[in-house]
């Protein structure tokens, strides 16, 4: 998440939002900063992309933490301009940590959600995935919900922005019509991270994986796993092995990886254009 830099210094915001007497800037990286609180704890201070985006991220992190399944940085405080989180001390990915992440993701998904598209409690209904708005509208049928609220909104915007033309759109719309037959076995709504690309997995010095920057909502569990595959993840084979130990996937789940990747590919098409449009259309051609 990036956005305007508030006039307040990050160390001052950290002290105010955590109730500490003093806080000292440790380093800045991009728009974010690491700050040392007066008790010695190190926190990350992030300026937000608007008040609703900050609320959504904070609520998403708390909803994932409440599941007691995955590791996420604790939310120390937030307001309309800033989000303050515990820092994760960086380490290296290992096969053991990856396998543990797979088991933890399976447990997270198993905690469930009230509906497909259900937002985290106490968060706004409409949230963000990266810098793109994302509507969280509850639904009971995953194929219908996925088409209406995850694929088609970004397809329409890509067409409106001139990135895709009507012939391109027809390819994706055909996939949406076929979703009931492409979706595979019925699955209950899972509690998703929602934006689980490799950059949102931090490998900690404690030999664990930590998840950041969620676009948390109720969805299909295969979506998180497809996102991990889209941009690559260290030791992905061990992540999947760990997942299968806890909550085995349908035998043909790999046939649907492209289907679940269509959503993030269209989001990236809207945000970045270029090659992502070609990838989205290639997936649509295979599925259509």
- Could you list the active site residues? 195
| Helix, strand, or coil (residue 186) | coil
d(CA 269, CA 6): 29
d(CA 229, CA 283): 14
| Helix, strand, or coil (residue 11) | helix
In this structure, what are the phi and psi dihedrals at residue 128, rounded to the nearest 5 degrees?
-140, 150
Contact 142, 220 (CB under 8 A): yes
Question: For 228, what's the count of Cα atoms within 13 Å in the CB-facing half-sphere?
Answer: 24
Contact 284, 171 (CB under 8 A): yes
């Amino acid at each position: 998440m990036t956005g305007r830099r508030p006039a307040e210094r990050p160390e001052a915001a950290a002290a105010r939002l955590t109730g500490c007497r003093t806080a000292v800037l440790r380093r800045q990286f991009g728009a974010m900063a690491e700050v040392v609180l007066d008790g010695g704890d190190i926190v990350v201070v992030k300026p937000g992309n608007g008040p609703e985006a900050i609320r959504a991220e904070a609520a998403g992190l708390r909803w994932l933490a409440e599941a007691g399944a995955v590791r996420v940085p604790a939310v120390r405080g937030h307001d309309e301009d800033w989000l303050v989180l515990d820092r994760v001390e960086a380490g290296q990915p290992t096969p053991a940590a990856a396998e543990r992440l797979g088991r933890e993701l399976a447990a997270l998904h198993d905690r469930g959600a009230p509906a497909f598209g259900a937002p985290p409690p106490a968060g706004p209904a409409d949230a963000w995935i990266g810098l793109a708005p994302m509507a969280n509208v509850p639904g009971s049928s995953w194929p219908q919900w996925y088409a209406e609220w995850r694929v088609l909104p970004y397809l329409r915007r890509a067409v409106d922005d001139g990135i895709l033309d009507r012939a391109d759109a027809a390819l994706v719309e055909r996939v949406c019509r076929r979703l009931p037959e492409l979706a595979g076995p019925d699955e209950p709504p899972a509690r998703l991270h929602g934006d689980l690309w490799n950059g949102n997995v931090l490998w900690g010095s404690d030999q664990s994986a930590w998840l950041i920057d969620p676009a948390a909502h109720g969805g299909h569990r295969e979506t998180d796993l497809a996102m991990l595959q889209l941009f690559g993840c260290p030791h992905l084979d061990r992540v999947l092995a760990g997942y299968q130990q806890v909550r085995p996937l349908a035998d043909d789940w790999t046939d649907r990886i492209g289907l679940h990747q269509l959503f993030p590919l269209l989001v990236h098409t809207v945000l970045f254009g270029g090659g992502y449009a070609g990838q989205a259309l290639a997936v649509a051609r295979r599925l259509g």
